[in-house]
Structure 1
Amino acid sequence: MKRHCCRSACDQPAVATLTYVYADSMAVLGPLASEAEPGCYDLCAEHSKNLSAPRGWQVLRLTEPGYPAPEPDEDDLMALANAVREVGFSDFPEGASQSHPYGTDEHQTSDKGEVVELARRGHLRMIADASKITDRLG
């Protein structure tokens, strides 16, 4: 049996499945699931293309061959490129010292001490392997 879009008054064939991850405030839109499952919503091409999330939520669009990939947000790409340039072209970013080359308050280590945050711009972060940062200091 062919599955249809779950939106009312829409009889188009379903091409994507929408699920919600409430803990992460995220709506995940991916390829059509092999079986209909509770808590998942099948959407047609038009409704999946126009999907938006409530304020404070993010939409994660998963892709597969034959399913159009979303265009990257130019603002995010430019912010990431600028953050990489800022850290990559200088030995010690602004506000850093010889003892803390990436700033005192800017970097944080995970509980395992594996990752260090080098820079942050908006919601984007640049991270590095903590052992490589230690090697650079030593």
Structure 2
Amino acid sequence: MRAVRQCSRSACDRAAVATLTYVYADSTVVLGPLSTTVEPHAYDLCDVHADRLTVPRGWDVVRLATEFKPASPSNDDLVALADAVREASRAKPQHAAPAQRPSSAAPAPVTHHLPEPLVDGEIGRRGHLRVLKGEGE
């Protein structure tokens, strides 16, 4: 499921609808539709901040779109959500007893998680590390 990206402006919790990039060599700011992937040197902006954009004196602004609207959920998003709900309903909940206060004489119970089954190509696991088969094995 596609996660909703938020506006890059601090203290703004609105959904991003536009991506802003700088072309320093040309003193130009480019504001366009929301990019499909997150770029490290670009800024995602909500509709309010995209409309109120100001740039340094002497810089040019190139607006690739004049109206920015949030993307509506796609069929892929709905299918991914349904799959996640099905998967969560199959998982067996592990109920642990609540931890006791530190001043209590009895220690909190220890819960053990069963290891995940090995996937194709794995020989074994230890913690978060996986041992994989080599080419000649």
TM-score (norm 2): 0.47
Instruction: Flag the structure with higher helix content.
Output: 1
Larger RCO, structures 1/2 (Cα 8 Å, 6+ apart): 2
Q: What is the TM-score with the length of structure 1 in the denominator?
A: 0.46
